[in-house]
Structure 1
């Protein structure tokens, strides 16, 4: 592959995230935050920031036929990762909250919080590539996360959150969440804007997309604060094997499978690069907040995200070089 990818934005993003998380952890130690504050930030992310991101990303989605195949590749790799993680949890006989956390961290990556900003940074001179990458990420990863991911977190965290452990009850609750409502409204707005040219809609869209963009920009800070509050003492002997498995599934298995599938389908080199970038991402920070919000193991979720972020500084260059993507370090 001839595309040259700079790793400097990746390092900068991860280090900034870790600095903020560490600062929140220090402020919590000094008493500025307490454990009770975590639920507040979890709700801010899942009830306000995330629905805003969902609506704005879907309302501005420029769907094209050429994105269907790569989006399917992204979704298939995600689905395989979820299945493998579920089998691992069943073999190890983990509790439901722990299983839900591991499954979420194994399948869903940092599409909105890390991949999208990096695509903007890495392909700043190629707007068509940026739009294609964002569309692939939205269709193949974000939409499954907004739907399947919420259901998984809610189902596995139901017992801890003292809800009924039934898929019907989980689905009923899911349909009433701001996440699902913003998902439906976003799709409807996107459809109306693409199919009907209503006079004056440009001004309407500008006002509302700018409003939701402002909220979504603050989402990373809210997420990192929530992650910092999640971090509590945990046994190293317990988390290390789990972290190793998640790294193998999320950051090694997924990009390799994506490469094999995209190559066999004859996708363009730039599309293969976008898929590898999406699949090589560390575990999703939003997935951790969502898992915590719906009753899964919040402390484990926080440490797994921090762990995959740190390890991504090593695995992402290795994945790019192993799959023959030219990369530079500064």
Structure 2
């Protein structure tokens, strides 16, 4: 785990360095948009097809979905309660809830788990993401962002069913159908999918480094960040570890699922904060500090698991 995180940190630092040096006059924002778009629309769907075509689909998929969904709902409830007791404003409450509840299960979880447990862990990550995190983000997450933020009447509203048309989700439907129909994978296609899958992890980590910015850190936000770090890096993984005990999968699969839940805040939340006028600065601070502290918390959880 230590070696894996050192490698991830080095790649994150390379992404952050790009933002400082801007090779070829390309800013981090421009480059990150291209990289994440290529991953989201091409390489990640290819990985989803490769992994789920071979994966064991069924009861264990429902367990991963239940674990992820329950932990996210618990994170929402705890962060909302803390924000209410501390009387945070609506924009700060919305940002705190999104940052505390939704883990970065794919962009950080995928490379970390793959390097730590092996390629089989990709199936755990993808199932938690597609069957738990993404559906909750695009339904309950959007509803919470709208409630605590502001909706611009001139903008086209973001559909709570948007994830159904997302390329990774469509790829998952195709892969599950091929899996259940027991269609064999052509050798040439399997090789192609494997090559595409290999590009996902490094591109995700590199783009994550571009997304993090210490300039966005506002020390005045620290009192609001503490509840996020408490829920995200401690209470949510604790709950996941307790709930995982009831799962009927192997000990390694339980450990991988819990470690995926223990990831810091997702990057996508900044988009919701910007769109619905939540406290984007607070969210960016939570992501940056949470990701930095996760380099310490993740090895601890790994040892416990």
Shorter-chain-normalised TM-score: which range? Answer: 0.7 to 0.9
Structure 1: gaps spanning 5 or more residues: 1-5, 125-129, 326-330
Rounded Cα–Cα distance in structure 2 between residues aligned with 1:290 and 1:46: 14
Change (3 A) 1:291 1:46: farther
1:59 equivalent in alignment to 2:49: yes
Aligned equivalents of 2:14, 2:81: Cα separation in 1: 34
1:281 is aligned to 2:281: no
Please point out which of 153, 159, 184 is paired with 1:171: 159
- 1:87 and 1:254 map into 2 onto residues whose CA distance is 14
1:12 to 2:2 alignment: no
Q: Could you tell me which residue of structure 1 aligns to residue 219 of structure 2?
A: 236
Match of 1:141 among 129, 135, 142: 129
| Structure 2 CA distance for partners of 1:171 and 1:134, relative to 1, 3 Å | same
Question: Shift of the alpha carbon at 1:99?
Answer: 3.9
CA distance in 2, matches of 1:25, 1:33: 9
What TM-score do the two structures reach when normalised by structure 1?
A: 0.71
Paired positions, count? 297
1:219 matched to which residue of 2? 204
Q: 1:208 to 1:115 in 2, by over 3 A?
A: closer
Bigger drift between 111-120 and 206-215 goes to 206-215
Q: 1:311 to 1:212 in 2, by over 3 A?
A: closer
Equivalent residue number for residue 255 of structure 1 = 237
State the alpha-carbon separation in 1 of the partners of residues 201 and 248 from structure 2. 35
Structure 1 match to 2:111:
117
- Structure 1 partner of 2:281: 299
Could you say which residue in structure 2 is the equivalent of 1:3? none
1:328 corresponding residue in structure 2: none
Change (3 A) 1:254 1:52: farther
- Counterpart of 1:72? 66
CA contact (8 A) 1:109 1:281 kept: yes
After superposition, residues 196-211 of structure 1 pair within 5 angstroms as: 196=181, 203-204=188-189, 206-207=191-192, 210-211=195-196
- Whether 1:103 aligns to 2:97 is yes
C-alpha distance in 2, partners of 1:185/1:93? 38
* TM-score (normalizing by structure 2): 0.76
Conserved? CA contact 1:108–1:287, under 8 Å = no
How far did residue 111 of structure 1 move?
Answer: 2.0
Larger RCO: 1 or 2 (CA < 8 Å, sep 6+): 1
Q: Give the alignment partner of residue 181 of structure 1, picking from 166, 171, 179.
A: 166
